[in-house]
Amino acid sequence: MLLFTDLLEKSGLAAGQVRLLRHQTKAPNGRTPYLLWRDDRPSFEEYQRVQAIGNRAGLAAPFWASFVAPPTGGTLFAGIYTARRVGKVDASWIDPLHLVPGMNLTKDELDCYETARASELEPFIGRLWIEWGAGARSWVQRPDRQNKPIVELTRAFREDGFPGYTYFIANISDVQGLPATWISALRAARGIYLLTSAKTREQYVGSATGDAGFFGRWQNYAQDGHGGNIGLKSSEPSDYQVSILEVSGSSATHEEIVAVEQLWKRKLQSRAMGLNRN
């Protein structure tokens, strides 16, 4: 089994001089480090270079091996960075992930690092996947103590293929950041979907009838949390899980889709035991 430490050593980096960073935070606005890395690399690096003082001891190493967590799961290599702490962050700094000043921390609680992407292991960026292990909450680890198996190496950066409408499951906050091929598939289909909340143990049956399909409808929930639905407005805010119950034919009318929606409401009793109000 090839281990990540093997690659570090072959590139001339001592494992004890490297820290592994797995960026996985999801901001309330749905942005994640993975999306920053995929779509706006400078913003990802700006986010990475400012860290809470409480992480200072764990980050004390001249090199960081950065990884990101896609919404579909896994741990993807994002590059080796040199890192040197240079002081406190400027008071005007805006966190590019949360889009607010300083991650809701004061400047005295934030360290600023001077970072630069190194050439070591550069050909593996976006191609190498490791098994992070059970300690996903421990986002900073040492490769000389927690060696990571390499589980996949692809020819080029790629995202998981669309699993199909039947097997599709995601959180509303992840919808905007799905791979482009997934978004295209969800835009192309209309039909009936189910929202469920692990937080409140409630469910809601809805229909997507517009030209933008499922994706267009779900964007409304991502923006305001309820999409204009009375039942969802009255419920405690939640990051709903969304899945597809039925895909309608391409020639189905608005009225026909709504009629099938009503059938699913009766099947799942989502009026008596859920959030549907009509």
Say which amino acid occupies 271. Answer: R
Asked if residues 247 and 190 have their Cβ atoms less than 8 Å apart, the reply is yes
Question: Given this model, what pLDDT does residue 236 score?
Answer: 63
Closest by CA position to 32, among listed 77, 89, 83, 99 = 99
Q: Rounded to an integer, what distance in angstroms lies between the CA atom of residue 172 and that of residue 220?
A: 10
- Tokens 């992840």 belong to which residue? 174
Contacts 24+ apart (CB under 8 A), 262-269: 264/192, 264/194, 264/205, 265/205, 268/194, 268/203, 268/205
If one counts every other C-beta atom within 10 angstroms of the C-beta of residue 209, the result is 20
> In this predicted model, what pLDDT tens digit does every residue of 245-266 receive, in sequence order?
999 999 999 999 999 999 999 9
The length of the chain is 278
The pTM of this model reads 0.74
| pLDDT score recorded for residue 253 | 96
Residue 256 sits at φ, ψ, to 5 deg, of -65, -40
Residue 187's Cβ-count burial label (10 Å; 0-12, 13-18, 19+) is middle
Residues in the chain predicted with pLDDT less than 50, given as ranges, are: none
Closest residue by Cα to residue 209 from 226, 236, 227, 233: 227
Give the model's pLDDT for residue 231: 62
198's CB contacts (< 8 A; 6+ apart) are 238, 241
Coil, helix or strand at residue 143? coil
Radius of gyration of the chain (CA): 22
Please give the pLDDT value at position 179.
87
225: CB partners within 8 A, 6+ apart? 232, 237, 238
**pLDDT on residue 220:** 81
